[in-house]
Amino acid sequence: MATIDLDTAREELKAFIVEAFLFGDESEAFTGSDSFMGKGIIDSTGVLELISFLEQNYGITVKDEEMVPANLDSIDNLVEYIRRKAG
């Protein structure tokens, strides 16, 4: 498996969140540590779209028990999760 550049992944994830959940409105700022749940950026169906994005773009499989905020609820958490999963 090709090594994932985490800096690139961070930018890709931000772009995906803005496009998929903020309708391209970049003025809705959120930081790397902002909780998607806390800011109301993503709902339950959005989480499934996010998981699909991760699996398709980073070659990882998100297990049911890994669908938790610690892995998915902010850009920082997502990058760290990808780092652990992709080895």
Partner 1 sequence: MKVSDFLIRTAAAFEEKTAAIHLGRSITYGELYRSSAALAERLRQLGLDPGSRAAILFENSIEYLIAYFAVFMAELVAVPLDTSLAPENLNYMLDDSGAKVFMVQGKYRRQLDKILGDNLSLRLVVSDKPIPVADSLPPAEQILDIIEAAGRIPSLARAAASVVEADDAAHELAAIFYTSGSTGEPKGVMLSHRNLVSNTIATVEYLGLKSDDSVLVILPFYYIYGNSLLLTHVACGGHVVIDNRFMYPEVVLDSLEESRVTGFAGVPSTFMMALSKSTLAKRRLADLKYITQAGGAMAPEITRRLMDACPKQKLWIMYGQTEASPRVTYLPPERLTEKLGSIGIPVPGVQVKILDESGSEVPVGEAGEIAVGGPNVMLGYWNQPEATAEVIRDGWLITGDLARCDEDGYIYVVGRKREIIKAAGHRVSAKEIEERILEDAAVAEAAVFGVPDDILGEAIHAVVVLKPGNKMDEKRLQAWCQRGLAAFKVPRVIRFVESLPKYQTGKVNKMQLKEEVAPDSRESAGRS
Residues near partner 1 (CB under 8 A) are 37, 40, 42-49, 52, 64-65, 67-69, 72-73
Least distance from partner 1 to the Cβ atom of residue 17, Å: 14
- Of the pair 15, 48, the CB lying nearest partner 1 is at 48
What contacts 55, CB < 8 A, 6 or more positions away? 61, 62
- Of the pair 7, 34, the CB lying nearest partner 1 is at 34
The structure tokens listed for 13 are: 């994830």
CA dist 78 and 32 (Å) reads: 9
Largest CA distance in the chain: 36
- Of the pair 15, 67, the CB lying nearest partner 1 is at 67
Least distance from partner 1 to the Cβ atom of residue 68, Å: 5
CA dist 16 and 12 (Å) reads: 6
